[in-house]
A and B are shown apart, each in its own frame.
Chain A
């Protein structure tokens, strides 16, 4: 099975950046030959929501958000949080880092 990553993108207005970051991450993942599922939390609401299974199967998690994201579900996963504009700008590097196992394990706060 192809390596799988998951990501969540979100921005304050939820009109544009959320989807730009999603598109860039998908594009970079494709280039790197890995699967990625990107949950977009925009003003339409949450789309392409990550299931429990998606998160279980994922090698790493990318959170590209300037707005609040529900985090407890990622407990114990290698995870990196960045700003949404960072994800737009540096999507290739982010995917590379995710695959190189350099992310720290996320521990959900109580």
Chain B
């Protein structure tokens, strides 16, 4: 399995102006619905919000990774949004705005191959060079190229 099995051009959002955290969750979840990746929009959003209640996935450094493991997910998916300007208030742990948002949707059961990819992505997000390259990417092709590089890494 490759990262491009989880994300494609239709699941990238560039320079979007988000109002607030709810707007982010709503916009990204709707995009998943439009791509036929979830079965129930509201139930999926509830799962995402349930996880946020435990602790915000706005992990600081401008990054937020709302995620849910839910029976309403059809297929493991990743959706990435670059927020316009300084970003959006995602109630981040370091109280900064988030401009790089990855929403992760994982089905409840089934195989685990996608988790390995998400693990690599999570580790990459901890490196400034990686996040800076995402910020600098001008278009969807450039973004996909950066993400595809993750596949080539050794575990």
A contact residues vs B (CB 8 Å cutoff): 12-13, 15-20, 22-24, 27, 40, 42-44, 66, 83, 85, 88-89
Contacts and interface: CB of A to CB of B under 8 A. Distances in A.
B115 A44 contact: yes
Nearest to A47: B119
Interface in B75-93: 93
B126 A24 contact: yes
Contact of A20 (B68, B106, B123): B123
Given A15-B69, A23-B123, A85-B60, 5 more contacts: A16-B122, A17-B59, A44-B112, A89-B60, A89-B93
Contacts of B69: 13, 15, 43
A20 B115 contact: no
Nearest to A85: B93
Contacts of B104: 15-16
User: Secondary structure of the B side of the interface?
Assistant: mixed
B95 to A, nearest CB: 11
A24 B93 CA distance: 16
**Max chain B C-beta neighbours (<10 A), residue from A12, A15, A20:** A15
Contacts of B140: none
Contacts, number: 67
A43 B123 contact: no
Contact of A15 (B60, B106, B126, B127): B106
15 contacts: A13-B51, A13-B67, A15-B104, A15-B122, A16-B104, A16-B118, A20-B122, A20-B126, A23-B122, A24-B126, A43-B69, A43-B115, A44-B115, A88-B126, A89-B94
Contacts of A83: 55
B153 to A, nearest CB: 12
A19 B51 CA distance: 17
Contacts of A19: 119, 122-123
A85 B59 contact: yes
B118 A22 contact: no
Contacts of A66: 54-55
A43 B115 CA distance: 8
- The 7 closest A-B CB pairs, nearest first, are A19-B122, A23-B123, A23-B126, A16-B122, A19-B119, A85-B93, A20-B122
